[in-house]
A and B are shown apart, each in its own frame.
Chain A
Amino acid sequence: GQSLEQPSEVTAVEGAIVQINCTYQTSGFYGLSWYQQHDGGAPTFLSYNALDGLEETGRFSSFLSRSDSYGYLLLQELQMKDSASYFCAVRANAGKSTFGDGTTLTVKP
């Protein structure tokens, strides 16, 4: 089966940089994705890493190390609107995805 671990809560101040880590155990691996979800809303896709290394999309970057079964999401120049839950998800095969329980990010002024 699959299991993922990520911190339950992270707090940071506006303008700062925050890193949300995700470690996983999986019987198959296609890639690691990150999603953002505001309270009561639908998850929004942020990034996907299939290969080792860093992917950058604006203020958000995501990193993957397949040998360490580890990835992280890096959020720079934090804004109040970044307060949300962030989920990592492992795509174990072409169709199956398992999500972590989420990290609640609180951005303070």
Chain B
Amino acid sequence: EAQVTQNPRYLITVTGKKLTVTCSQNMNHEYMSWYRQDPGLGLRQIYYSMNVEVTDKGDVPEGYKVSRKEKRNFPLILESPSPNQTSLYFCASSSWADSGNTIYFGEGSWLTVV
């Protein structure tokens, strides 16, 4: 089954304590991306990756880091989380071979920073 898997799904953490949200896809997709969604708003892109070792900033990259060492994994790193990073996070992936540009999303990770 085609899947984008995120972990953890729910996390409460404290300000300044580094955390990593993992994302893995089993579809051999080249493209992966991270988004955050706040109440009443659409998804805002944090970072994206066009392929292994190729990453670029989205619209709201401040306070986040990513890496793409393997094709299937694209972890999101919060080096020093702050309360304004409390949000719902989605990982997504897609294939360049798909002319329909179908993007698959993970189930989301609810992050609370206190």
Contacts and interface: CB of A to CB of B under 8 A. Distances in A.
A43 B58 CA distance: 18
B65 interface: no
A87 interface: yes
A97 B103 CA distance: 11
Nearest to B108: A42
Contact of B58 (A35, A87, A96): A96
B105 A50 contact: no
B1 interface: no
B101 A95 contact: no
B48 interface: yes
B42 A102 contact: yes
- The contact size tier of chain B is 20 to 34
A35 B43 CA distance: 11
A45 B104 contact: yes
B107 A87 contact: no
Contact of B33 (A1, A31, A87, A97): A97
B101 A98 contact: no
Contacts of B108: 41-42
A49 to B, nearest CB: 9
Given A43-B105, A95-B56, A96-B45, 19 more contacts: A33-B101, A33-B103, A42-B90, A42-B105, A48-B100, A48-B101, A50-B101, A89-B43, A95-B48, A96-B48, A96-B56, A97-B45, A97-B48, A98-B59, A99-B43, A99-B44, A99-B45, A102-B40, A102-B42
30 contacts: A1-B59, A2-B59, A4-B42, A33-B101, A42-B90, A42-B105, A43-B43, A43-B90, A44-B105, A45-B103, A45-B104, A45-B105, A48-B100, A48-B101, A87-B42, A89-B42, A95-B48, A95-B49, A95-B56, A96-B45, A96-B48, A96-B56, A96-B58, A97-B48, A98-B45, A99-B35, A99-B43, A100-B42, A101-B42, A102-B40
